[in-house]
Structure 1
Amino acid sequence: MPRAKIILATLFVILCWAYSPIGIHIALQAYAPDNLALLRFLIASGFMAGVAWIKGISRPRLRDLPLFAVLGLFAVTLHHIALNYGQRGVSAGAASVLAQSTPLFSALLASTLFRERLGAWQWGCVLGGLLGAGVVAVGDRGLGELDGHGLLILLAAASWSLYFALQKRYSQHYDGLTLVCFTLWSGTALLLVYLPGLPAELAQASVSVNLAVLVLGIFPSALAYLAWAYVLTHSQVSRAAIALYLIPPVAMLMAWVILAQRPSVMVIVGTVIVLASVGALTVKVR
């Protein structure tokens, strides 16, 4: 029974995070990218406040508040602003592939910021993954229509990898729920600068668009993190991480069914290159 729960929780995470680019694509029909990020995380923050009230969380130390602000900046504010702006010019399936390049940037950060030595194999994986990301971008938009939107999604992936690196190095004093809550709340607080423009868009958005944002706020932004924490607690991290490679194919299938966005052959080839590079890098590092 515990094994069945782990499998179900993993499938739930995959579906939630695969839906994320589809929900963003729908929501961008009515919301500016920055206002969408704010509304999504106001919903997520409220939901996680209820979870925290029920389960209880630790109170952060005063000296750690700047750390939570930095974690919130990279995990929520910068990551989702870049992701939303990037998806204005990238299909949902391609966006999911580019966002899955986080381990490549983690390796680059380990080498440049944290002075960890990378071998020839690791550098080959990083370069291969970046080449695959380029193939995805070209295959999605066409060589003549390339612009900065794909780079913005790669910036979002880099921001996410920096969050993970900082979380791993400086956050040993808090349990997972406490860390997620205060990171999420800090990032949401930074997004409040966009609050003046939100009410008008909220009033004009259709019910279907607002439903897509509600799903984004509750499932990919809140429940999926709790489910993923459960999976990591009850299984090996390396084995659980392999399941995340299913997110881009599932996202492409969902985008095909829901948005009628059919991936090109080049996007599929680029996806294989990116995921193979990320998988090879992860296996070698561990």
Structure 2
Amino acid sequence: MKWKVLYAYSVTVLLWGSAFPAIKFGLQSYSPGHLAALRLFIGAIGLTVFAVVRKIKLPDLRDVPAVLLLGFLGFAVYHTALSYGENSVSAGESSLIVSTTPIFSAILAALFLKEPLPKIGWLGSVIAFLGVAMISFGKDDSLAKLSLGALWILTAALGESFYFVFQSKYLKKYGFLPFTVYTIIAGAVCMLFFLLGLAGEVLRASASSTYAVLYLGLIPTLIPYFALAYITSIVGASEATSSLYLTPVIALIISWIWLGEIPAFLSLAGGTLALMG
């Protein structure tokens, strides 16, 4: 079991780290809303086929509102806000800001699930948010734009944190595989209003950007969520999301190699402070 958990952690960190530069690359041809929607639509189509083949049962009718809400927060809000944020924030810096997700998760778990967060945990949270503030002010030439982008990404992190924390009850009831299928499809349903103009954007987009979105929809959108849901079902929400602290390392390396992005010194210092927190 320990090796399975370790493997699931590794897959989550590697694939989610690759998502940040892929989003940045896809934004060369796609608007943030359409990129997020197309990514989720692709993932939902793949999961629908998977659910039919595996004969996954539908959720109980009384749980449908919760599934829709968690799908909205964990997928529609997260992917849309992250895409808008990466319009003005580099992929590496975005991953550093998203690393606040475990902090939000720990605070929410302490408040609502009574998972204890000691005083050192609250201190660490304050330190980490100071680090995020430093990242937000990492580029003097576009301060307002970067700060707005950082706010978008913090919104994404908060939405994802709600999803990770409040899925625990339903993971026990349905299992990590069916419930993740339910919520990703629910998130895609919440994105239907982005259908307007999507076909035209796909036709105008470069092939390489479309390949990047296809990758996002089929790989980072699906596999890490299954892996993290599996980890959460074993070790709990706070400990499971702690793996996300390693995601920026992968994102920074891939962004440097693929996109040639070199973060500002202040952003790197802020990221280091966030991780220390």
TM-score after normalising by structure 1: 0.86
Shift of 1:86: 0.7
Shift of 1:231: 5.7
Name the residue aligned to 1:12.
11
Name the residue aligned to 2:218.
218
8 Å CA contact 1:72, 1:186 repeated in 2: yes
8 Å CA contact 1:22, 1:254 repeated in 2: yes
| Cα-to-partner distance string for 1:10-37 (whole Å, 9 max, x where unaligned) | 4333221011111110111111111111
Q: State the SS of the aligned residue for 2:76.
A: helix
C-alpha distance 28-135 of structure 1, shift in aligned 2 (>3 A)? same
Aligned-partner Cα distance in 2 for 1:193–1:233: 33
Instruction: Give unpaired runs (5+ residues) of structure 2.
Output: none
Aligned-partner Cα distance in 1 for 2:212–2:72: 24
Correspondence 1:1-286 to 2 at 5 A: 9-110=8-109, 119-139=118-138, 141-142=139-140, 145-146=143-144, 147-169=147-169, 172-229=172-229, 243-277=243-277
TM-score after normalising by structure 2: 0.88
Q: State the SS of the aligned residue for 1:89.
A: coil
The count of aligned residue pairs is 275
User: RMSD between aligned alpha carbons?
Assistant: 2.7
8 Å CA contact 1:57, 1:177 repeated in 2: no
| Cα-to-partner distance string for 1:174-209 (whole Å, 9 max, x where unaligned) | 111111111011110010011011000000011100
Q: State the SS of the aligned residue for 2:173.
A: coil
Shift of 1:88: 0.5
Shift of 1:58: 2.9
Aligned-partner Cα distance in 2 for 1:7–1:105: 23
8 Å CA contact 1:107, 1:126 repeated in 2: no
Aligned-partner Cα distance in 1 for 2:233–2:167: 17
Give the partner amino acid of 2:137.
V
8 Å CA contact 2:101, 2:241 repeated in 1: no
Aligned-partner Cα distance in 2 for 1:135–1:128: 11
Deviates more, 1:177-186 or 1:116-125: 116-125
